[in-house]
Amino acid sequence: MERLIMSTKYIFLGLIWTCSFVSAQVSIDRATVNMDQFTIRESPKLITNDKVLLTGEKLLYKIFSMSNPVRKKVVSTIGYVSLRNESDSIVFQHRLKLKDGKSVGAYFIPGTLKTGKYHLIAYTNFSLNNTKAPYAKSPIYLINPFKKTPLIMDKEEKGITEVKTSIERDTISVKRKYDEVAGLETDKKVYKPREKVKLIFKNMNKVNKSSVLSVRKVAPINVYSEEEINEPFNNEQTNFFVPEIRGEIISGYIQTSRPDKSIKDKVISLTISGDNTIFKLAKTNSKGHFFFVVPEDYTKANSIFQVHEEDRDDYSLEVNTVVFRQKKEDKKTPVILDATIKNWLEKRSIQLQIENAYYDTKKTIAEKKKETTPFFELQGKNYVLSEYNHFPTMKEVFVEIIENVGIRKRKEGEKFVMITTGTDKDRSLFSKMDPLILIDGVLIQNAKELVDYDPKKVESIRIVNESYRYGPKIYSGIIAVSTKKGDFKPILNGEYIKEVELQGITPYKKIYTPDYTDKKLDRIPDYRVQLFWDPEFILDSESKTVNFYTSDVPGKYEIKLSGYTNDGVYINSTNYFIVE
């Protein structure tokens, strides 16, 4: 009997609409979904390691996507954080995988940025439906000591931010917004450079179990600092922003100039290249729009989109660019550096240059990515070409090595066919269909690309000689070629195929924290001012102890525990110690 393998890797369409949508948003009046069921509103929050940073330092942050009503589960699994200048030009944008509505990130501030006021903005696609609080917006003041800052004479003019030296004694003080939440204590009040600090937490039972613990030097400067801003969004509810429930949504559309051609129900393929190649199929709706839901983790990578049809040359394909734009500020806020910070700025700049020069010796730990395997993995037979005699052409490889696959000449050109064996007559129904041909996960629709490929570049060929259903397509089998370098590039002839760079999930690296019991570190300079940063600090008991080491930078340091309770209440407990 005919054996049809049903792939379990179906493309999950999340919430299904029959309407047109662009950039993961749909028109409300056309949506078939009942809007009343979305009683949850998401509202993002941000916590950063500091408001004032120098080029050469790291901006560290955590995003909280809060639900309203509180205690309702946050639906989004993808969050977006971007740093923008006052003209809304994007310095960076991170796409983050949210776990229980939370995620963390870091950004090394390059020397190309100018001194000025910036904003860190956080949102989810779904939070943009919340017109009262669609995104979090936190001011960040960057200082570039190597670029001249324009001098503005009229310091009485409104809107000017002035950075001055803060004359403050190195005294130990405690500032707790919620004394009943958590007590922070250190085993000493004054430490020497590279000395171990023992931090003790007490009365932790009322604190959210995922908070931010930061230990950072108090900079001897003052700057006007706004509270976190969450501005209204002029959406007018004409669009519904689709929640990314199961993963990232990637959308686009096809067009045709031929009136006799339909743009509905056309199959689109997506290949995301990388260490773990991702291959997906989707169908267009009545407006020619398509979207993919990508739950898999991947970093910045090239992707290939194709119209997967025999008449593909009659279509053009476009991929939507998803960039949220806020309202531009009418009045900019220049940042003026007062002469009183000159000595501090010069000293700190030298320290940063030395610290970054030893970057390679101070290892950071990257989060492990989840490994993904092809949907056909372990099925069929895998031919590793190095285990066989070498043949100069792919035709000879398929004749001499690969079983049950043939190359046939047709009017439209050469074709690969799966060869039926035995007396299984029912297989003829599906054997007339084309096999799915992939090279490094990239769909091959013109067999000539594989026929003309150099066998010296091929690592292995996996053959699944059985009918296979994947998404909306049924194939007579699978021919999956893996190259040695994994860098196959298809021929990009035609408007039906597009190569697009996708951002992917931004990886996070934990900051460097030395252990000075290791004597190998004795001769390595240590000019850290961020002594400790744990954005996923777990408060799982009434008391807890944390250890870290001071650096070679003397001064006053702040210990800050911050976060949000399950009721959406902001908590903030602080304490201080001295290094001298």
Residue 407 CB burial class (10 angstroms; 0-12, 13-18, ≥19): middle
Residue-range definition of the domain harbouring residue 409 = 381-487
Among residues 452, 435, 477, 436, the alpha carbon closest in space to that of 394 is found at 452
564 domain residue, yes or no: yes
Name the 3-class secondary structure at 6.
Answer: strand
| Rounded Cα–Cα distance for residues 207 and 571 (Å) | 8
Distances (CA, A) of 91 to 81, 246, 354: 11, 28, 25
Same domain, 356 and 478: no
Same domain, 413 and 535: no
Provide the CATH number for the domain around residue 357: 2.60.40.1930
Among residues 44, 58, 57, the alpha carbon closest in space to that of 105 is found at 58
| pLDDT score, position 362 | 78
Same domain, 99 and 64: yes
The angle formed by the CA atoms of residues 536, 205 and 102, to the nearest 5 degrees, is 25
Distances (CA, A) of 193 to 57, 554, 576: 20, 7, 16
| Rounded Cα–Cα distance for residues 338 and 220 (Å) | 13
Phi first, then psi: give them for residue 442, nearest 5 degrees: -90, 130
Among residues 444, 451, 445, the alpha carbon closest in space to that of 488 is found at 444
Same domain, 473 and 517: no
The angle formed by the CA atoms of residues 418, 422 and 424, to the nearest 5 degrees, is 80
Same domain, 313 and 434: no
User: According to the 3-state scheme, what is the secondary structure of 55-98?
Assistant: CCCEEEEEEEEEEECCCCCCCCCEEEEEEECCCCCEEEEEEEEC
How many distinct structural domains can be found in the chain?
3
CA atoms within 13 A on the CB side of 67: 17
145 domain residue, yes or no: yes
Provide the CATH number for the domain around residue 471: 2.170.130
301 domain residue, yes or no: yes
374 domain residue, yes or no: no
Same domain, 90 and 222: yes
Same domain, 358 and 398: no
Same domain, 229 and 247: no
Same domain, 218 and 260: no
53 domain residue, yes or no: yes
Is residue 199 within 8 A of residue 557, CB to CB? The reply is no
Same domain, 424 and 393: yes
497 domain residue, yes or no: no
Q: Which of 299, 319, 339 corresponds to the end of one domain?
A: 319
Q: Which of 487, 522, 554 corresponds to the end of one domain?
A: 487
501 domain residue, yes or no: no
Q: From the CB of residue 491, how many other CB atoms can be counted at a distance below 10 Å?
A: 11
Same domain, 189 and 67: yes
The per-residue DSSP string of 256-296 comes to: -S-TTS--SS-EEEEEE-SSS-EEEEEE--TTSEEEEEE-S
Distances (CA, A) of 318 to 184, 245, 251: 54, 24, 9
**pLDDT tens digits, residue range 502-548?**
988 998 888 889 999 998 899 999 999 999 999 998 777 777 899 99
Phi first, then psi: give them for residue 91, nearest 5 degrees: -80, -50
499 domain residue, yes or no: no
Same domain, 27 and 97: no
Residues of the chain with pLDDT under 50: 1-23, 27-37, 151-158, 160, 167-180, 225-229, 235-237
| Rounded Cα–Cα distance for residues 400 and 403 (Å) | 8
| pLDDT score, position 62 | 97
